[in-house]
């Protein structure tokens, strides 16, 4: 597998656009993790929030209007010209759309249901179709006038990581020449309430791999790529997937499925573990996930490879996490954004002695070989749906 990621559009709690996101990513900014008073009924909670004003959806797509699709549009506008260029060259039927999400327009459905309970009537502008998981890919395809295969993957927190594998297969078997691929998720009460019922929410900022970790921050964001065979600095070298189905909400304690996903990604990329310069950890800051992932990463990489969890600065973007964290690799590898710097691991520095040792990247961590470099990102989901993505430059 060697397909190129020619363009990226991104918006998340670190900002809007590649340059702002890269600057705040490498600086370890936690300004996007803010207190929200409207997501839980009984208390405030920290969440990773997109604070930028989002563009309105085109009037002809008003039936799909929701915050999730406005987030998608904000990211898509950054690469719209690139998408149009390839669509004009190969034809709109030869460009696919594969997106990942887990919330879609649920937030608007929550508001509509609240009004129905309060006064017995649904809002006049309530659009049930905006809640459908599949509408994200349909919306992106319609905005760009694309006519190739278009579908949405929803496997919880691995959704948009798995979208890379699916989009790559469409190109490799000849069903299309290019793909718009990524993920979008939006904050909503249902998600926060669900994690709260599992006692998985942090009382403040999350603290991945610390002995003091107490749960996650939920976040929102969008990252959308253009994938083609045409030359570009950053290449999708491999994707590994597994499904261990250990438990509906708890990961396999030894991380067997995570190990398998990483090994398959490395095999697909034809790389050895020592050829990976950096690992973006799933790193949710829950007790069981961090324990599992520390074991799994240590099995593959030992304590040599620099790594970090970026969820302590973005929150867990759920179905959009895989695409956004792959985007962090892209920003690290694409010339002109990171200049060799790695995303730092922001935490309290108090390592849990029960965890195998990992080599956490700091604010001044960087990679030495700028000509040939590869990095890996992990995404693990409920039900044991696992994915690892390898991006590289110069291979």
Active site residues: 157, 282, 316
CA distance 255 to 273: 17
Give me 363's structure tokens: 């604010």
CA distance 187 to 106: 9
For the chain, the C-alpha Rg in angstroms (whole number) is 20
The DSSP string of 19-75 is HHHHHHHHTT--TTEEEESSSSSSS-EEEE---SPPPPPPGGGGGG-SHHHHHHHHH
The Cα angle at residue 137 between residues 131 and 143, in degrees rounded to 5: 105
The DSSP string of 245-314 is ---SSS--TT-HHHHHHHHHHHHHHT--GGG--EEE------HHHHHHHHHHHHHHHTTTSEEE-THHHH
CA distance 157 to 322: 7
Cβ-Cβ contacts under 8 Å for 46 (sequence gap 6 or more): 33, 34, 35, 36, 202, 204, 205, 206, 217, 315
> Are residues 24 and 14 in contact, defined by beta-carbon separation less than 8 angstroms?
yes
What are 5's strand-pairing partners?
Answer: 227
Query: Which of 380, 382, 11 lies closest to 185, judged by CA?
Result: 11
Q: How many Cα atoms are found within 13 Å in the side-chain-facing hemisphere of 124?
A: 0
């Amino acid at each position: 597998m060697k397909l190129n990621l020619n363009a990226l559009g991104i918006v998340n709690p670190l900002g809007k656009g590649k340059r702002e996101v890269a600057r705040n990513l490498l600086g370890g900014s936690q300004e996007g993790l803010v207190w929200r008073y409207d997501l839980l009924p009984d208390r405030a909670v920290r969440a990773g929030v997109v604070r930028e004003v989002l563009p309105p959806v085109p009037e002809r797509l008003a039936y799909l209007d929701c915050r999730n699709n406005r987030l998608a549009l904000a990211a898509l506008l950054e690469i719209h010209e690139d998408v149009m260029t390839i669509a004009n060259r190969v034809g709109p039927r030869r460009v696919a759309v594969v997106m990942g999400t887990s919330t879609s327009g649920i937030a608007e459905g929550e508001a509509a249901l609240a009004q129905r309970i309060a006064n017995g009537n649904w809002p006049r502008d309530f659009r049930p179709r905006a809640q459908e998981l599949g509408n994200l890919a349909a919306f992106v395809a319609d905005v760009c006038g694309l006519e190739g295969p278009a579908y949405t993957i929803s496997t919880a927190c691995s959704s948009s990581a798995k979208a890379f594998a699916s989009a790559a297969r469409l190109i490799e078997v000849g069903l299309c020449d290019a793909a718009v691929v990524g993920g979008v998720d939006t904050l909503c009460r249902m998600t926060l309430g669900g994690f709260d019922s599992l006692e998985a929410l942090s009382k403040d900022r999350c603290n991945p791999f610390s002995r003091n970790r107490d749960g996650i921050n939920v976040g929102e964001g969008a990252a959308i790529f253009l994938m083609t065979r045409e030359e570009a600095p950053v290449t999708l070298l491999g994707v590994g997937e597994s499904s261990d189905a250990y438990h509906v909400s708890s990961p396999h304690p030894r991380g067997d499925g995570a190990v398998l996903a990483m090994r398959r990604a490395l095999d697909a990329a034809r790389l050895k573990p020592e050829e990976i310069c950096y690992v973006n950890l799933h790193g949710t800051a829950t007790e069981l996930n961090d324990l599992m992932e520390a074991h799994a990463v240590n099995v593959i990489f030992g304590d040599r490879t620099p790594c970090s969890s970026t969820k302590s600065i973005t929150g867990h973007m759920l179905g959009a996490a895989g695409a956004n964290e792959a985007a962090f690799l892209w920003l690290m590898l694409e010339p002109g954004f990171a200049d060799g710097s790695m995303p730092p691991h922001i935490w309290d520095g108090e390592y849990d002695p029960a965890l195998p040792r990992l080599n956490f990247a700091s604010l001044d961590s960087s990679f030495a070989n700028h000509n040939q470099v590869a990095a890996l990102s992990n995404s693990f989901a409920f039900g044991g749906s696992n994915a690892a993505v390898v991006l590289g430059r110069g291979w």
